[in-house]
Amino acid sequence: MGIKLKTRKPTGIVPWPLILIEGDEGSGKTYSVAEFSASEQIGQVYWIDLAEGSSDEYAAIPGADYLIIDHDGSYRDILEQIRAVYLEARRAAAAGEPPVVLSIDSGTALWRMLKTWANERARRGRTNAQRLEEDPDAAIDVGMNFWNDATERWMDVIHLLQTFPGIAIITARGKQVTAIDEGGRPVTDNKGRALREWKVSAQKDLAFDCSVWVRMRRGRAPQVIKARSLRLRVEDGKPLNLPDFTIEDLVFNRLGCSVDSQPRQMPALVGDRVQAWLKEHDVTDLRDVEKLRELWWDADKDDAGLTRAEVVSIRNAIEQKVAQLENPPTEMGQGPVSDADRLRAAVERRAEEGDEQPEDEPDPDKRPVRKEPVKRTPAAKRAAAKRTPARR
């Protein structure tokens, strides 16, 4: 059976933007978002405040109308709330309602949190832990695997913003820094003076991933640095100054967005479907062994759309998870555990699932007691020898 060609005609519709607003502190980045919430052309505005603390105060701006997203500061809760807003925006778009707006203030704080997470994981590693035990001020090595994990978490957020069924805005700090080459050395001119460059304080690809890039500086007119648009042209190296900048004017007049706009069609690019499948079925956090066994069989169903190699990888991951649940570490995190510990874990797991312990399963707390041999004195041994007939 041949492979079926999949194509579609382009729509020509202007997509909803992902807007990056970065710049100096106090330059009006957050204010512009709160001001935009008063627009009559948009629907509900949701605001995720990450270590900025301005969301409550800026409600005093005339006409400002937005809802603050509550979160506990953890990456998982933040990501879940972004997904919740995403689903609400999709519902509103399907119902023909004005576009939902999601604002993340700021991307700088989000990336800083993920960098701290990578650093803390590296410190707990065996090599770095031994090094810090010998010298608490020693430099530690944060391996590429930690940075890759942090970047993966960052991209989970960015992909939701890129495909958001409405208007997505992310703020970030920007500043002048000394230019550094690939070897970590300062870049200088022909007179030996260090060159300066502008840097966005977030994950390095943020400016590339956004469809519109706005820079705001104190005492200067806001500038559009980049716009992925046919209507708003920004020449390379020639930012567009907008003295009367507002997000409403940028989105609906200069970019040409309207109620007919759609989210960008950007399927997530993956080398295989293993990680996406494991995330979709929440394998990492599952504690129900029977559910994990069901997923083991489900991975090989025709409607899963997985290759044989992907099925094998998924089943290996599930088997490792089941092994962890059935053979947990001891209280101090040391292993391997004893048979009694494994039995006890099995009993506790069944108790959590509401099952009674089978009659034929031994109780780890009722093991048979082994009798210790009786120690006898030398005199008792000689007396016993006299009573015992000599062997011939």
CA 222 to chain centre: 31
Helix (H) or strand (E) holding 131: helix 126-134
CA-based end-to-end distance of the chain: 89
| Spatial distance between the Cα atoms of 263 and 167, rounded to a whole number of angstroms | 9
What tokens does 213 get? 């890039």
Query: What is the rounded average pLDDT of the residues 165-177?
Result: 92
Query: What is the rounded average pLDDT of the residues 267-271?
Result: 70
What is the reported pLDDT for 179? 80
The answer to whether the beta carbons of residues 302 and 310 sit under 8 Å apart is no
For residue 75, give every residue at least 6 positions away whose Cβ sits within 8 Å of its Cβ, in sequence order, or none: 113, 114, 117, 153
What is the reported pLDDT for 361? 45
pTM over 0.85: no
Which residue, among 325, 321, 322, has the nearest Cα to 349 in the 3D structure? 325
Render pLDDT for 4-47 as a digit per residue (tens, 0 to 9): 888 989 888 889 999 999 998 888 899 999 999 999 999 999 99
Query: What is the rounded average pLDDT of the residues 162-178?
Result: 91
